[in-house]
Amino acid sequence: MTYEFITVNPQAQKFVTLIQLNRPGELNALNRQLMTELSSALRELDADEQVRVIVLTGNEKAFAAGADIKEMADATAIDMVNRDQFATWDLIRKTKKPIIAAVSGFVLGGGCELMMNCDLIVASETARIGQPEIKIGVMPGAGGTQRLTRSVGKALAMEMVLTGRFITAEEALRAGLVNRVVPVEFYLKEALMWAQEIAQLSPVAVKLAKEAVLQAFNTSLDEGLLLERKNFYLCFASEDQKEGMKAFVEKRKPEFTGK
Ligand code: DAK
């Protein structure tokens, strides 16, 4: 499939696909077409055995400056209901393979929410992260009050959501919102290197582990532990578990196939 607002490099590295948001003139504002393209690309990649890890990036100036304000400005509440943008956001959220966000510059509103949908986040030192919706008379609508609060805690989430203040990459790192901060010339390289490292592991175990960690946000401890246990047992149905443990015993590097 060809896309207008994203570019997809299916084999940026072996088993690693790079998706780049590509509306630079609008600071990668997330219009509906871009989100539809992104969700369909992710669905395809999730089903492709040659892909084990996905890296999602923008450009140095902006990961994404939020949902497209111009597209929303005249909408009524019923237009918003009928557009049902959550359908595409839900598809993104349901991606089973790990997604690493490589962010730089503006990471705002829906851009911050999209970043928080990713599993690991590498930020450039120049990243400015915020939920500025309050300044345009609305509030976060795609997880900014929930995921952000779970991630950084009430104090900082309230401050960001109620004032719209942008935080620096360093602040985001201290608050636990991003995993790593590196100089701007390295943020994408770092994310790709990390992707390559995870792509060497068992894709079955990686997927099951991602599912289990995310479940921690949705369930009680007992239910979460139950899912963890079942996924742990399920690993033993894979050839990768046999290979991984055998390789350890034989003191060699394992070759995982995802079977
Ligand atoms: N939407 C549309 N266009 C945008 C944009 C945006 N969010 N952000 C920037 N642009 C456009 C600008 O209009 C400008 O276009 P031209 O005027 O050149 O045609 C171009 O990008 C460059 O921007 P600036 O000239 O403003 O650049 P500056 O460096 O001066 O300022 C800035 C950069 C990032 C501080 C500024 O552009 C800015 O404040 N942008 C808006 C940030 C913002 O408020 N973001 C939150 C948007 S609301 C939902 C899902 C998601 C959401 C809601 C619901 N559902 C699933 C239902 C999310 C909502 C939001 O994100």
SS (H, E, C) 164-219: CCCEEHHHHHHHCCCCEEECHHHHHHHHHHHHHHHHCCCHHHHHHHHHHHHHCCCC
**pLDDT given at position 76:** 94
98: CA distance to ligand 1 center in Å?
27
Across 97-159, the runs of DSSP E, i.e. the strands, are 99-103, 106-108, 120-124, 128-130
pLDDT digits (tens, 9 = 90+) for 158-184: 999 999 999 999 999 999 999 999 999
**pLDDT given at position 60:** 98
> d(Cα 236, Cα 86) in Å, to the nearest integer?
36
Sequence letter at residue 69: I
Half-sphere exposure of 99 (CA within 13 A, CB side): 24
155: CA distance to ligand 1 center in Å?
25
pLDDT digits (tens, 9 = 90+) for 196-245: 999 999 999 999 999 999 999 999 999 999 999 999 999 999 999 999 99
70: CA distance to ligand 1 center in Å?
8
CA 77, 78, 83, 88 torsion-angle sign = positive
DSSP 142: S
Task: Judge whether 106 and 63 are in contact, CB under 8 Å.
Answer: yes
Range 125-137 average pLDDT: 98
Ligand 1 shell residues, CB under 6 Å: 26-27, 29, 65-70, 85-86, 89, 106, 108-110, 113, 132-133, 136, 141-142
27: CA distance to ligand 1 center in Å?
7
pLDDT digits (tens, 9 = 90+) for 90-128: 888 999 999 999 999 999 999 999 999 999 999 999 999
* 74 contact partners, CB below 8 Å, separation of at least 6: none
Give the residue numbers annotated as catalytic, written as ranges. Answer: 67, 110, 113, 133
The band of 41, judged by pLDDT with boundaries at 50, 70 and 90, is very high
Nearest residue to 85 (alpha-carbon basis) of 75, 95, 100: 75
Out of 21, 22, 26, 148, give the residue to mutate to test ligand 1, the one with the largest number of ligand atoms within 8 Å of its CB. Answer: 26
Closest ligand 1 atom to residue 106 Cα is 34
**pLDDT given at position 53:** 98
